[in-house]
Amino acid sequence: MFPNLPFLLQSMAWPLVLLLAWVLGERLHRGWKVPRVSSYVAVGLLASLFNLPGLTAEVQGLPFLANVALSLLLFELGYRINLRWFRHNPWVLALGVFESVLTFTLVYGASGWFGLATDLRLIIAALSISASPAGIVRVANELRSAGQVTERVMHLCAINCLVSVLALKLLVGYWTLSTSGDLLAAVFGSVHALLTSVVMGTVLGVAVPWLLRRPGTHERGVTVVFALAVVLLTTMSYGFRLSPLLAALVFGIVARERRVHLTNAQRGFGTAGDLLTLFLFVYIASLLDWGAVMGSLLLGLTLIVVRTTSKVGCSVAAARLSGSTERKGLLTGLALMPMSAFAILLIEQSRIYGFAPAADALSLMAGMMLFQELLGPLVSQRSLMAAQETHVTQADGQITRSVL
């Protein structure tokens, strides 16, 4: 009677799950102030648990779409980075680098308690450095957050992501060299990928602002051009086996330095950006295997404690040196708790490019990712609210920014 029923169910899975995630996200955000991204993750985890047809299977094009979504958020994060701030306050840069190294060292040491192989411990430590730009940027945008804590969180998140990519790419090169003995392949997969990704992001960061200075470009056009440039950057990165996440972050940083301004209304890339963010968080949650989650809960909880202690401890210890207070340092460290989207896509991309240990590392980190995905954005939200930098009021059922 319905010869195409299996195909129909597969075709309906993603639209129905995304619609459910959006409805739940709006309800919980307005009623309980739960970050929307946490609701999206919850729906994705449930869909993965029930193994809905067409959702958890490997569908061609979904990883690319997820990378486009995250690249847009990384561009926005990069656009909020002010390099001059590092020159005026080098302690922030020093804090970010030192904390990244300390987190790597502590997580590597803690993972040794569970008898893991050295390669896997190095991968987990490299990924644990990162914070989630997707979770942090979306939470900050929802709250219209601005202030010292918010800016420090954004800048430290960018540093964490850069160091994490650097560490993982070097590990890929080391693994390639140790398994194949091919020095050229090792260099191509690590140093070449890093440098070329930075160059591509820099070139677009210079070229696109130059294009937008031509007469007749309106604000909406600025948003469209930047979005298309990010899609182009992601496509080129896939074609040349580079890092679209690193390239997008560099693109945003350089574009900010070229003085092309995005208004508040353009941040988030409008409705298209909201839809891609919705897809991104449902998608990354659907990648987690529940068997792996249950088998790695103890490891995950241990690593979360170690990682959070490192970030909070460093932020508090360096607070006075960097012109802040211990309380703001505490809130800054806690706000850096999310790490899921960036880490999952980074390791998935490495797996697609042929890095064999990536799949095992993702399984071992599944328990850690479960808590980081669900609770991380909530911790970031409460930290920014406690810092009193959100300046939001409730009006007509929607969050709007108050006039300062």
The range of the structural domain enclosing residue 297 comes to 13-401
Which residue has tokens 């990165």? 237
Write out the two tokens for 34: 């739960």
Q: Is residue 7 situated within a structural domain?
A: no
Question: Residue 2 domain-assigned?
Answer: no
CATH number at residue 260: 1.20.1530.20
Asked, for residue 250, whether it belongs to a domain, the answer is yes
* pTM for the predicted model, two decimal places: 0.92
The answer to whether residue 275 is domain-embedded is yes
Task: Return all residues near 197 (Cβ < 8 A) that are at least 6 apart.
Answer: 237, 242, 243, 244, 246, 247, 250
Mapped onto helix, strand or coil, the DSSP state of residue 174 is helix
In a domain, 5, yes or no: no
CA atoms 281, 287, 293, 298: torsion sign:
negative
d(CA 68, CA 232): 9
Q: Is 4 contained in some domain?
A: no
Residue 265 resides in a domain? yes
Specify the long-range contacts of residues 183-192, CB closer than 8 Å, at least 24 apart: 189/241, 189/353
At residue 288, φ and ψ (nearest 5 deg) are: -75, 135
Distances (CA, A) of 233 to 242, 246, 288, 313: 10, 10, 27, 36
Phi/psi of residue 55, nearest 5 degrees: -95, -50
Q: Domains in the chain: how many in total?
A: 1
Question: Helix H segments across 130-242?
Answer: 133-143, 148-180, 183-187, 193-212, 219-239
pLDDT tens-digit series, residues 219-241: 667 788 889 999 999 999 998 88
Mean predicted lDDT score pLDDT of the chain: 87
pLDDT-derived band at 352, boundaries 50, 70, 90: confident
Confidence of residue 398 (pLDDT cuts 50, 70, 90): very low
Is 6 part of a structural domain of the chain?
no
Give pLDDT tens digits for 293-331: 999 999 999 999 999 999 999 999 999 999 999 999 999
